[in-house]
């Protein structure tokens, strides 16, 4: 598989993408060697795309320099086998443009742009924001519609208008409104990707082309098999595969996506470090429950990691300048 073969007509970023966690070392610093090993493992497992610097990748707590370095490392490791999509959306248009241009310079194949959060702009502001970023690079753009985090949705008419931009080509949907999504799929050329693992299969039924997953850290092979079965008309097989992943969804629901994925990767033998604050690592009790869930799903775990069930430290601030700590800092 090459990155070009992953980007097929109608599937501009591939079929099964995982929103990859960002590995940190014991001191909370970015660990690029482990990031490359993780990216390779994820592609070997069945992902033909990776999203880096997203929410699961703890993008709000990594510096601009760390984001660019991570993109370069992941592209170097798997860029010939998978699409590498860089999260570049913030609540500041100028800062988002800076991140998008840095991602392009680092070799990213595409951009993920989340709806501006906290400031709650009107729909006219969304059009101006997304258009300005899309105009700033030559990269294809996937919009990220997630009102539970951003508060405001991207309205139907706004998506139809943005779809006319030549580089806005896809939507990652975590809004879970299949009616709106069905209408967008029917009235635009936007490629729809499920952005919420519990509804991956329902989205396929209305025309989604793939998924941007968190559970893909451990079951990308099953996600791919489910998609293949559904598209081959083997709907009962697709339902069975979907049901087999329910314990993984339960595990993720215990602690949230980033903490679950980091815990799961450690249990599978690759320590990607603790999350940065404000995300705490899983407690011993939570790790034990996740082990039980992954066992129920038939996910293979590393024997030594299982025996240790390390709950991690206290959550790291990371080796960043004080000006970068906390909320996103506007680019000047």
At 1-24, the pLDDT tens digits run 455 546 666 899 999 999 999 999
Q: Are 80 and 2 in contact (CB under 8 A)?
A: yes
Indicate whether 331 pLDDT > 50.
Answer: no
Q: Which of 117, 144, 192, 230 is catalytic?
A: 144
Indicate whether 314 pLDDT > 80.
Answer: no
* 212 assigned ligand-binding residue: yes
Predicted confidence band of residue 309 (pLDDT cuts 50, 70, 90):
low
The whole-model pTM stands at: 0.92
Q: Are 24 and 31 in contact (CB under 8 A)?
A: yes
Q: Measured between alpha carbons, how far is 276 from 142 in angstroms, rounded to an integer? A: 26
Short-list 104, 166, 108, 107, CA closest to 137: 104
Q: Measured between alpha carbons, how far is 208 from 201 in angstroms, rounded to an integer? A: 9
Concerning whether 172 is annotated as a catalytic residue, the answer is: yes
Query: pLDDT tens across 104-142, in order?
Result: 999 999 999 999 999 999 999 999 999 999 999 999 999
Q: Which of 67, 172, 192, 193 is catalytic?
A: 172
Minimum mean pLDDT range among 147-151, 206-210, 248-252? 147-151
Using only the alpha carbons of the chain, give its radius of gyration.
Answer: 19
Residue with tokens 């975590």: 174
Predicted confidence band of residue 325 (pLDDT cuts 50, 70, 90):
very low
Indicate whether 39 pLDDT > 60.
Answer: yes
* 34 assigned ligand-binding residue: no
Concerning whether 144 is annotated as a catalytic residue, the answer is: yes
Please state the rounded mean pLDDT for residues 65-84: 98
For 275, the 3-state DSSP assignment is coil
Short-list 152, 99, 159, 108, CA closest to 131: 159
Q: Measured between alpha carbons, how far is 180 from 162 in angstroms, rounded to an integer? A: 15
| Peptide bond connecting 314 to the previous residue in cis, omega within 30 degrees of 0 | no
Q: What is the DSSP string of 176-235?
A: --HHHHHHHHHHS-PEEEE-SGGGHHHHHHTT--EEEESTHHHHHHHHHHHHHHHHTT-H
For 30, the 3-state DSSP assignment is strand
Mean predicted lDDT score pLDDT of the chain = 92
Residue 280 C-beta-side C-alpha neighbours within 13 Å: 9
Indicate whether 319 pLDDT > 70.
Answer: no
As separate numbers, helices (DSSP H) first and strands (DSSP E) second, the chain gives 15, 8
pLDDT of residue 7: 60
Q: Are 140 and 167 in contact (CB under 8 A)?
A: yes
For 110, the 3-state DSSP assignment is strand
């Amino acid at each position: 598989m090459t990155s070009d073969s992953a980007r097929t007509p109608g599937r501009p970023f591939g079929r099964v993408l995982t929103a990859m966690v960002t590995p940190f070392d014991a001191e909370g610093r970015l660990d690029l060697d482990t990031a490359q090993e993780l990216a390779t493992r994820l592609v070997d497992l069945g992902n033909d795309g990776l999203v880096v610097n997203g929410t699961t990748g703890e993008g709000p707590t990594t510096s601009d320099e760390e984001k660019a370095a991570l993109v370069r490392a992941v592209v170097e490791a798997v860029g010939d086998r998978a699409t590498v999509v860089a999260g570049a959306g913030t609540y500041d248009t100028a800062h988002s443009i800076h991140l998008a241009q840095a991602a392009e310079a680092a070799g990213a194949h595409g951009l993920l742009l989340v709806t501006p959060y906290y400031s709650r702009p009107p729909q006219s502001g969304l059009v101006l924001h997304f258009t300005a970023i899309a105009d700033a690079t030559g990269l294809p753009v996937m919009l990220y519609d997630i009102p539970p985090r951003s508060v405001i949705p991207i309205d139907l008419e706004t998506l139809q208008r943005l779809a006319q931009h030549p580089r806005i080509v896809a939507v990652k949907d975590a809004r879970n409104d299949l009616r709106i999504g069905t209408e967008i799929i029917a009235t635009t050329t936007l490629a729809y990707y499920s952005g919420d693992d519990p509804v991956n299969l329902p989205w396929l039924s209305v025309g989604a082309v793939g998924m941007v997953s968190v559970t893909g850290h451990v079951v990308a092979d099953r996600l791919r098999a489910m998609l293949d079965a559904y598209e081959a008309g083997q709907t009962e097989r697709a339902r069975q595969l979907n049901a087999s992943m329910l314990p993984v969804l339960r595990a993720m629901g215990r602690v949230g996506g980033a903490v679950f994925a980091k815990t799961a990767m450690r249990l599978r033998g690759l320590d990607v470090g603790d999350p940065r604050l404000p995300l705490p690592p899983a407690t011993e009790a939570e790790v034990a429950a996740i082990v039980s869930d992954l066992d129920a799903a038939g996910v293979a775990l590393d024997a030594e990691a299982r025996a240790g069930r390390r709950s991690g430290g206290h959550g790291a601030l990371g080796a960043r300048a004080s000006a970068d700590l906390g909320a996103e800092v506007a680019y000047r």
